[in-house]
Amino acid sequence: MHWPIVIRRVEGHSMEPTLKQGAIIFATPLLSVGKGDVVVARHEDKDIIKRVTKIKDEKYFLEGDNSSHSRDSRRFGLVEKSEVLGRVIPSR
């Protein structure tokens, strides 16, 4: 069985201290997404890595953990479920 995996490199400081710039993350669309999860989403033709802080009508409010360095839903609003590429798999 092949699981779809999304592999991305963290760019910027918006998810610090949780994820540091340059870190490699793995995400999968096979895991359900809930409040508090970190996801990879597509926004304005760019992949972003953010935390889900609210869910309303299958739309997600996404925020960076480092709010002073994050362009997120506080600026661009809710993200459609279809734009979420996958939930980040926590590293151990």
Which pTM value belongs to this model? 0.91
**End-to-end CA, the chain:** 23
* Cis ω before 17 (30° cut-off from 0): yes
Which domain, by its residues, includes 55?
Answer: 6-88
Tell whether 1 is covered by a domain: no
Q: What is the CATH number of the domain that holds 69?
A: 2.10.109.10
Catalytic residue annotation: 14, 50
pLDDT tens across the length of the chain (92 residues): 456 899 999 999 999 999 999 999 999 998 899 999 999 999 999 999 999 999 999 999 999 999 999 999 999 999 999 999 999 998 76
Tell whether 32 is covered by a domain: yes
Tell whether 76 is covered by a domain: yes
Query: Phi and psi dihedrals of 2, rounded to 5?
Result: -105, 120
- In the DSSP assignment, the letter for residue 68 is G
Number of separate domains in the chain: 1
**Residue of 58, 41, 49 whose CA lies nearest to 15:** 49
